[in-house]
Chain A
Amino acid sequence: DAGVTQSPTHLIKTRGQQVTLRCSPKSGHDTVSWYQQALGQGPQFIFQYYEEEERQRGNFPDRFSGHQFPNYSSELNVNALLLGDSALYLCASSSTGARWNSPLHFGNGTRLTVT
């Protein structure tokens, strides 16, 4: 049973560029959340997608956007990259509309470096 898969695993971009990260949720899961984890810090919630719509959003600028597809996979897009966007981007999936007691399963992340 495949867990949460993310691609690519590593990515190097230049300031001002745009990037797209991809996530396939665990089989049977319908909700996808994205988190940003800066080095040495805890993950920070970016947003959550359910039924192909953004349901919740954290304190991130509009440069961060996302999408969920009918097969529940998701993309995270970041425009106009800044050096401060360098981080590990984690995708997490859960089931049944992601109520509080539905455990989150995390992927291994995409390491984004902005130079």
Chain B
Amino acid sequence: QQQVKQSPQSLIVQKGGISIINCAYENTAFDYFPWYQQFPGKGPALLIAIRPDVSEKKEGRFTISFNKSAKQFSLHIMDSQPGDSATYFCAAIPSGGYNKLIFGAGTRLAVHP
């Protein structure tokens, strides 16, 4: 069964610090690796995504690093802010043409002022 493993389960960072969340996958047949942000009482919202033929993608304070040989990818949040406090999910879309998402278990991030 295709799986995506995410760590840590929870993370506390001081304002201005760097938040790092890691994910690993167990199957190479994935087309796309999105990250989602979820606030309490809300559905997940797409944050940033990367294709497996790209090693890094940056959008504002958010950067994805992708290591295809190690089957690992990570999210870095630079200059973390209290408003970034949320649950973050990595995901992977299996090859096959349709965007069925395989989610990690999530990381609850708390940014303290």
Contacts from A to B (Cβ < 8 Å): 4, 33, 35, 40-45, 48, 50, 55-56, 58-59, 90, 92, 94, 97-109
Residues of A within 8 A of B99 (CB): 33, 94, 98-102, 104
Q: Tell which of B36, B41, B89, B97 touches A100, judged by Cβ atoms closer than 8 Å.
A: B97
- Residue B101 CB within 8 A of the other chain: yes
Q: Lowest 3 A-B CB distances belong to which pairs?
A: A42-B103, A106-B43, A100-B31
Q: Say yes or no: B46 contacts A103, CB within 8 Å.
A: yes
What separation, in Å, do the CA atoms of A103 and B102 have in the docked complex?
14
Residues of A within 8 A of B6 (CB): 42
What separation, in Å, do the CA atoms of A27 and B43 have in the docked complex?
17
- Residue B44 CB within 8 A of the other chain: yes
Report B11-37 residues with CB < 8 Å from chain A CB: 31-32, 34, 36
- Residue B61 CB within 8 A of the other chain: no
Q: Say yes or no: A90 contacts B43, CB within 8 Å.
A: yes
What separation, in Å, do the CA atoms of A44 and B100 have in the docked complex?
10
Q: Say yes or no: B45 contacts A45, CB within 8 Å.
A: no
Q: Say yes or no: A41 contacts B101, CB within 8 Å.
A: no
Q: Say yes or no: B103 contacts A43, CB within 8 Å.
A: yes
Q: Say yes or no: B32 contacts A101, CB within 8 Å.
A: yes
Q: A90-B43, A100-B93, A108-B43 are in contact. Are A56 and B100 (CB under 8 A)?
A: yes
- A sample of 13 more A-B contacts (CB under 8 A), given A43-B44, A99-B97, A100-B31, is A42-B105, A43-B101, A45-B100, A45-B101, A50-B98, A56-B98, A98-B98, A99-B98, A100-B95, A100-B97, A104-B99, A106-B36, A106-B43
Q: Say yes or no: A106 contacts B44, CB within 8 Å.
A: yes
Query: How many Å from the CB of B35 to the closest CB on chain A?
Result: 12
Residues of B within 8 A of A35 (CB): 101
